[in-house]
Amino acid sequence: MKVSLTGIKPSGTVHIGNYLGAIVPAIELARRFERSLYFIADEHALTSVEDPAKLHAQIYDLAATWLACGLDPERTFFYRQSAIPEVFELAWILGCVAPKGLLDRAHAYKAALAAGEAINVGVYTYPVLMAADILLFDTTVVPVGKDQKQHVEIARDVAEKFNRLYGDVLALPEPEIGDQSMTVPGLDGRKMSKSYDNVIPLWAPAAQRRKLVMRIKTNSQAPAEPKDTESSEIFQLYRLFATPQQTAQLERRYAAGIGWADAKTALADVMEERLAPLRARYEALRADEAALDRVLEQGAQRARAIARATLARVRAAVGIATPGASAAQRETAT
């Protein structure tokens, strides 16, 4: 069976770069697999978030965001990492197999080291926990951004080592790197990113989004001059939200000499058209944390049935018995 799995860290404001570059393609991708799992990597977030109120809020922001954008919790396993205790036991077992040298070479750890940061052990063992997330579900494909590719490769290396030691127990995962051609530009023309402080938040109210759009950098061409579409961030953003007919029409207005203020108004309008219904859904979902808990808990229950079977298999392989495991395994095997 082809199984796709990916974790999303609850790490702050979601912007339209995340929406177009990660969320929409991920929801699309889920439809291609017999089994797909999306989970909130809340325990991973602890390596960097130390504010409990903030973490709590970000977890529900994220859950409501994915559901509002169309993730179907009936067809996808949608859960919190922290609700799957088997992940943490598997992480320990994998840690006993993973060579230390492999973790010493992890980019994120090396970058923190080079920056002279105070590094907690969680930062160091981060890839082992991630390997457990992945290997627990016999994952074959892990859709991630470029920055996470090495982590998936580490998971695969650990699985191979485990299998060499204990037999053919774990499925080998492969990263699937998202289409990098889709880079959403930010307010200053660079890639939209939290780290550049140039983002348009996905759930900004219409008035705030309009204000941000008005701040997008443009050149100093006069209103009547014909304008180039390729080099215009406004146009590039417009195209991502508009229908082909709307895009063709704006292209003609550029050729005829559109004023930048009018171009920005057109962009703000088309964004609002597409995002207003999503935002309404988001707000309704976000307002009911208990309902979000129920959705995530249901996902966790379904996921745990698989997790228990894998962990029993792993335990048996290393020589640790699980009482009643064979019965549980028979149940989930079908």
Binding footprint of ligand TRP on the chain (CB under 6 A): 5-7, 9, 41, 44, 130, 133-134, 142, 144, 148, 151
Helices (H), ranges, the chain: 16-18, 24-30, 42-45, 52-68, 85-95, 100-104, 107-114, 121-135, 149-166, 206-214, 233-241, 244-256, 260-286, 289-318, 325-333
Torsion (CA) 106, 112, 113, 115 in degrees, nearest 10: 140
191 or 253: whose CB is closer to ligand ADP?
A: 191
17 in contact with ligand ADP (CB under 6 A) = yes
Residues whose CB is less than 8 angstroms from the CB of residue 37 and which lie 6 or more positions away in sequence, other chains included: 3, 4, 5, 6, 76, 77, 78, 79, 137, 139, 303
Tracing tokens 């070479």 back to the chain, one arrives at 105
- Dist. CA 258–CA 252, nearest whole Å: 9
- Dist. CA 175–CA 152, nearest whole Å: 6
Compute the least distance from the CB of residue 102 to ligand ADP, in Å.
23
Compute the least distance from the CB of residue 264 to ligand TRP, in Å.
32
**133 contact, one of ligand TRP, ligand ADP, none, CB 5-8 Å limit per kind:** ligand TRP
Compute the least distance from the CB of residue 74 to ligand ADP, in Å.
24
**298 contact, one of ligand TRP, ligand ADP, none, CB 5-8 Å limit per kind:** none
Amino acid code (one letter) for 48: S
34 or 230: whose CB is closer to ligand ADP?
A: 230
- Dist. CA 33–CA 76, nearest whole Å: 10
Compute the least distance from the CB of residue 148 to ligand TRP, in Å.
5
**246 contact, one of ligand ADP, ligand TRP, none, CB 5-8 Å limit per kind:** none
Which of these ranges, 16-24, 59-67, 222-230, 301-309, lies near ligand ADP under the rule CB under 6 A?
A: 16-24
Residues 167-196 that bind ligand ADP (CB under 6 A): 178, 182-184, 191-195
Please provide residue 178's backbone torsions phi and psi, each rounded to the nearest 5 degrees. Answer: -60, 160
7 in contact with ligand ADP (CB under 6 A) = no
Compute the least distance from the CB of residue 266 to ligand TRP, in Å.
34
Compute the least distance from the CB of residue 6 to ligand ADP, in Å.
9
Compute the least distance from the CB of residue 150 to ligand TRP, in Å.
10
Return the residue of 4, 6, 18, 82 that touches ligand ADP, per CB under 6 A: 18
Q: Determine the size of the site formed for ligand ADP (CB under 6 A).
A: 14
150 in contact with ligand ADP (CB under 6 A) = no
221 in contact with ligand ADP (CB under 6 A) = no
Helices (H), ranges, 69-167: 85-95, 100-104, 107-114, 121-135, 149-166
The CA radius of gyration of the chain, in Å to the nearest whole number, is: 23
Helix H or strand E segment including 259? none
